Chain A
Amino acid sequence: MNHDTPYDGLADEHGDDHRWAFGTGFTDPLEGVDTSVPDGVDAPALAAYCLMLGDDALIYSHRLQQWMTRLPELEEETAIANVALDLLGQARMLLARAGTIDGRTEDELAYFRDEPQFRNVRLVEPIDRDFAELVGRLLIFSTWRLALFEQLGNSRDPVLAAIAGKGVKELTYHRDYAAQWVVRLGDGTALSKQRMQAALHAIWPLVDELFRTHPVETALPSVAAAADRRDVDAVLDTVLATAGLDRPDAAALAGVGGRTGRDGVHTEAMGYVLAELQSIARAHPDATW
């Protein structure tokens, strides 16, 4: 295979040996896994629930990827790249799980839904304004998701239980990484402490939403799971105490007529994330490379 430039090679037909890029026939992440829905489980609700958890990971992964090349040290670049990759993997499996129920592919779900059809919590939408917001949001997100996934490992849906069982190991690393940075900044200089405290204050209004029970979850007894807020608070309080930071006292961000991220009502930031995530796939819907 001779080419004038290495880039020419990218345009070749690779037969079975596709590159990893949109439109090139990703391997189904659930290939060979039994995806039948257990008896007595509300299948549309299960699909909606998988979308919720998958969208949390997909949107947050994209936000973390936007940090690439902007982090203060190479070690933090590799850390955040790895966290984003783990979450993207979780998102792919969860979207694929939703898709096995309602007949859509993971690509259709990721690239061709509009904003009101996304079910992620609003915590994952805003762009981090500094490194303190990055590690503060990651601490809250990973602590909550780890507590949730520990429960979800016992789900009656074996696919969801398997995805959660795998995610628990990854989220443990994410939480430790974020917690260690929150302590380092909180227990660092006067400036780092002030900025860490300000970051937590900015993020805190989005925490309450994580613990609201959505009707989709109520429709899935022993399939859906919830993070126990006391468990999450215990971890956060330990980190804050070690860091010498105060637990913010900020009112929860209201929804619109009570509707929030899980209902498809998002913050202003969401449109910008989706524009970046989806524009290429939508401009070239049949593209392969």
Chain B
Amino acid sequence: MVNELASGPEVSGSAARTGAARQGVSAWTVAAETPDPELPTLTLADLGILRDVSEAGDTVVATITPTYSGCPAMREMSQDLRHRLQRAGFRDVQVRTRLAPAWSSDWITAEGRAKLSAAGIAPPTGAARSAGPIPLTLGRPAAVTCPRCGSVRTTQTAAFSATACKALHRCADCREPFEAVKPI
């Protein structure tokens, strides 16, 4: 795991996904279907939390990255991944943490974004920023599109919400409050 911290955000290659399949199902496919404990309509792959799955015979090493430093769901995810892979016939399952590069909401897949909207949660806007000191934000953040009615007449009511990854917003047209995944 010497290069773990320096490696890129992509999975280690198609070889990892299409390697020794069990009953026609690769370890990647099994692991990728693990639901997120806090957003169960999305999978760990949808959220970009699952970074790598490598398999050799009965041994599988799955690598995940925390969305936030204090993410309390890391242990649940780790156990869920282990149980799923073991049920699929992989006897020796290891789950590892990868810290760098740090998780970005930009890694949520197109399918993940569609599932978020369908669940009434606005997907994140782009998180990428230019180099240099991080600018201070004193005004209100840019409006987020309402996942229920599509209006852009929305305001943020709180920068934090019930989980680390979301903020609270309100729509002026359909009058519903909604959550949005924060861009980080």
Binding site for B on A (CB under 8 A): 16-18, 20, 26-27, 29-34, 75, 78-79, 81-83, 85-90, 92-93, 146-147, 150, 158-159, 161-163, 165-170, 172-173, 175-177, 179-180, 183, 231, 235, 238-239, 242
Knowing A78-B162, A90-B70, A163-B69, say if A168 contacts B134 (CB, 8 Å): yes
Q: Does B160 contact A (CB under 8 A)?
A: yes
A141 to B52, CA, bound (A): 36
Q: Does B25 contact A (CB under 8 A)?
A: no
Instruction: Identify whether the interface residues of A are mostly helix, strand, loop, or mixed.
Output: helix
Residue of chain B at shortest CB distance from A183 = B138
Of the residues B72, B78, B159, contact of A176 by C-beta under 8 Å: B159
Q: Is the CB of A158 within 8 A of B70?
A: no
A183 to B138, CA, bound (A): 8
Knowing A20-B75, A86-B68, say if A32 contacts B94 (CB, 8 Å): yes
Q: Which stretch, B1-9, B27-35, B109-117, touches the partner chain A?
A: B1-9
Contacts of B182 in A (CB 8 A): 173
Residue of chain A at shortest CB distance from B1 = A34
Q: Does B97 contact A (CB under 8 A)?
A: yes
Residues 123-138 of B, flagged 1 when their CB comes within 8 A of A and 0 if not, give 0000000000110111
CB distance from B173 to the nearest CB of A (A): 22
Contacts of B100 in A (CB 8 A): 158, 161-162, 165-166
Beyond the given pairs A32-B4, A34-B4, A161-B5, 5 more chain A to chain B contacts, judged by CB atoms under 8 angstroms and listed by A's residue number, are A17-B79, A82-B164, A83-B160, A85-B70, A166-B66
Contacts of A75 in B (CB 8 A): 157-158, 160, 168
Which of B1, B2, B133 has the most C-beta atoms of chain A within 10 angstroms of its own C-beta? Answer: B133
The count of residues in chain B whose C-beta lies closer than 8 Å to any C-beta of chain A is 42
Q: Is the CB of A29 within 8 A of B97?
A: yes
Interface residues of B in 128-184 (CB under 8 A from A): 133-134, 136-138, 157-162, 164, 168, 182, 184
A90 to B137, CA, bound (A): 23
Knowing A32-B95, A79-B159, A162-B99, say if A27 contacts B69 (CB, 8 Å): no
A262 to B71, CA, bound (A): 28
Residue of chain B at shortest CB distance from A26 = B75
Q: Is the CB of B1 within 8 A of A78?
A: no
6 closest cross-chain pairs (CB), A and B: A32-B96, A89-B70, A89-B69, A162-B100, A162-B99, A75-B158
Q: Is the CB of A87 within 8 A of B138?
A: no
Of the residues A17, A86, A146, A177, contact of B134 by C-beta under 8 Å: A146
Which of B1, B4, B164 has the most C-beta atoms of chain A within 10 angstroms of its own C-beta? Answer: B164
Interface residues of B in 65-116 (CB under 8 A from A): 66, 68-72, 74-75, 78-79, 94-104
Q: Is the CB of A172 within 8 A of B134?
A: yes
Q: Does B63 contact A (CB under 8 A)?
A: yes
Contacts of A231 in B (CB 8 A): 133
A173 to B102, CA, bound (A): 15
A17 to B37, CA, bound (A): 14
Which of A33, A150, A177, A179 has the most C-beta atoms of chain B within 10 angstroms of its own C-beta? Answer: A33
A179 to B159, CA, bound (A): 13
Contacts of B69 in A (CB 8 A): 86, 89-90, 92-93, 163, 166-167, 170
A34 to B63, CA, bound (A): 13
CB distance from B135 to the nearest CB of A (A): 9
A214 to B180, CA, bound (A): 42
Which of A85, A150, A167 has the most C-beta atoms of chain B within 10 angstroms of its own C-beta? Answer: A85
Contacts of A163 in B (CB 8 A): 69, 99
A40 to B69, CA, bound (A): 28
Contacts of A78 in B (CB 8 A): 158, 160-162
Q: Is the CB of B102 within 8 A of A150?
A: no
Contacts of B97 in A (CB 8 A): 29-33
Of the residues B70, B75, B98, B161, contact of A33 by C-beta under 8 Å: B98
Knowing A86-B68, A175-B136, say if A169 contacts B168 (CB, 8 Å): no
Contacts of B99 in A (CB 8 A): 30, 33, 93, 159, 162-163, 165-166
A162 to B65, CA, bound (A): 11
CB distance from A147 to the nearest CB of B (A): 8
Q: Is the CB of A177 within 8 A of B133?
A: no
Residue of chain B at shortest CB distance from A19 = B75
Q: Is the CB of A31 within 8 A of B136?
A: no
